[in-house]
Structure 1
Amino acid sequence: MITELEKPNPYEIACRQFDIAADKLGLEEDLRRVLRSTKRELTVHFPVKMDNGEVKVFTGYRVHHNVARGPAKGGIRYHPDVTLDEVRALAMWMTWKCAVVRLPYGGAKGGVICDPKQMSQKELEGLTRRFTTEISILIGPDSDIPAPDVNTNSQTMAWIMDTYSMHHGYSIPSVVTGKPVNIGGSEGRSEATGRGVVYVLEAAAKELHMDLSKAKVAVQGFGNAGSVASSILHNHGARVVAVSDSRGGIYNPSGLNPNEVLEHKMVTGSVVGFRDAETITNDELLTLPCDVLIPAALENQITERNADQIRARVIVEAANGPTTPDADEILFDKGVLVIPDILANAGGVTVSYFEWVQDKQAFFWSEREINQRLKAILTSSFSEVYQLSNNQKTSMRTAAYMIAVDRVAKATKLRGIYP
């Protein structure tokens, strides 16, 4: 078990990943300084009245990394372990994520230090509306468009949209994405991250001549992305042998039905205790015998401590930053194909982009059309990254970073230094 002091710093990891790609690209030092730095960082401390009448003060962050290619885009997470360095890293990863799939966005991220699982719906609404007010100096439909992330959802986005709209006196649905469909959300948005994971996995399977209908899959993190990916793969015939959440995991080598596991979790609050399954830890899940491993939880799950024990042939990073650079090297040497987060989980931001476009036009598309566009973008992006990876004889992550960093660097150079 990794202690708090031993946890790798996510921003240091993000910078190290950038440096590897910058070295490969031969990026000049001045440009490196610009692209390594965040553009702006906002820290807010704000009071919220709790149900028992007590007033608590919460700390939140909103960080913009780079906006050379368009408005800042990135989720907001609620978690007890949120730190400024984590938000910085996530903002930087969003910059590369948007660039690798050619979206006209820059990277942003936000977070509030809190434990939403210990808060009522009313308390969460109060926290969300006050946090929105505090960061309203940054967010806007043409400047910074938030979205859901860890422990936030479409309801959270509805509160943000309503709060921002009330301040302006009219409805502005394009200020956030990931909203309910009834107030300007997009069809297919809630499933987009998990569906995108499946699309890039299908593209990888073709290259590796892997039959997904016979594959064994383990999923760490049975939240939105993990549960959707599990369900789609199960419906395609794959055998989902293990899933987990923050309380632990379950394992059945004969296979689990993700739809039934989700029903169990909705009733009990966890996947743990599901019938006909062995209880395992999150760490144990990562090293199970399987063909495909989908880390869909938090950062720094696959490290130099456990990378050599991983038995999967393909890792698809549905989470942000689940693999450290040291682990990357070990996995690459072992011949494990790691589809990096900035490509693997880009389905969410891609359909967020579709939602934003639809809101701007007040013209909406069908879910079938959205899924077709999503698949086309992710399949094409996977092919670009995979081809460069083979040509450069480097990892998929480094190849993805090379493409993304190059695009942002070119945009930054073209725009120049103001004044």
Structure 2
Amino acid sequence: MVVNSRRQLLKQIGVASTAGIAGLAGCAGSPGDADDSGGSGDSGSGNDDDSGSSGGGSSGSDIEELTVGVFAPYTGAFAPWGESVTTGSILAKQDLEEEFGISITLKEYDTETNPSTALERMKRAVTSDGIDFAHGGISSAVCTSMGSWASDNGVSYIAQGASDSITGSACAEHMFSVYQSNTMMARSAGPRMANEADSWYILYSDYVWGQTAQKVISATLEENGASVVGSDATPFPGDDYTQYINNVQNSDADAVALLIPGLDARLATEQMMNTGLHEELTLMYHQFEDLVLWGLGKDAASAVDIGPTGWANAVEGADEFKQRVVDEGDTDPFARHYMAYTSLDQQVRAAMRAGSTAGADITTELEGHQIEGPVSDIQSGTMYWRECDHQLIQPTHVVSGLDTGEMKDDPWKEWFGVDETIAGDELARACEETGCQL
């Protein structure tokens, strides 16, 4: 019988011993409420293809149950995003359990969008709660903190941040990135940005995601013949963007790029609308996600001129998946549902192909693997896990706000249209450019 999970190993040698082997100070605790332990409870259990019947390992018949750590910001600056990670994971769990006849337990952990907090909860999830592998994160800084530790301790982790740093010099042996990188999104939007306006002002959040985005957006604009006339690093999280909006107004810029995530992007947009600036300038939202503008209304949504994104509910097909999101969750379908579904789907299928949940075995199954099966019904086009940096190469979409009269609210909010879809191979950095040493 194969010892196919870290959880089984922990049962054999004990938590304290495992923590010692990993060189850790032990992490005490047990699953509970997010307020005291970071866990939100359990969701319960219940072709080079992705059927689990081919690949480098066995058919996975020895695996009967799995425990997966789902890391999301249930509180903090990205709190509205947390539910979507849960919902996407639940939908993948349902499909995988039905297909493979296994039992999957989802254990949820609140990252609070805090790298230190997220790291401590990852340690507890592995050494005390016995998860087999993990996904989630949202914030790139959070992802890197958790993913580096998990990888060092032989645990597979799929990050859902988008900073180039995740698949750059900070890459880790058993960490993968499901979200298109900053470079992929910048290169998808750059030509359109240059066509829309000659001079740009950039507002970017002053942490790793915003910093890397600012660099690649500036370079991409210049490569396409446009100029950056000014830029400001803004605090994250922030509560007042007035001074930065004034800087934009006082510049010669024809357009503004908001490299600001989450609720901060919503706040910056609201304050910009109060000045009327959204009616004067071209607006670009980096790593655009519908949820930001859903909270401000249709007039704000219609002001979005350019938004590179990993997935949107305006992408053709996948109507069944979109309806399931509506039925299961509290938020209309957007990129994070797709990212969470894909993360769990791919890790479980890799484990089934390998007949093992060891980080090294899952890594072997994912590297170079081309995705076919349910995920390819949600995101069409060529998708594969690149071996050199563990980036998921996949299409990237550029969206813009529809006219308010064209927006739909039923069966789900569809306020944005897809203007262009670009293949991932056309956008990703060359392996030698990443700085990743895998």
TM range (shorter): 0.3 to 0.5
TM-score (norm: length of structure 1):
0.47
Q: What TM-score does the superposition give when structure 2 sets the normalisation length? A: 0.45
Higher RCO by CA contacts (8 Å cutoff, separation 6 or greater)? 2
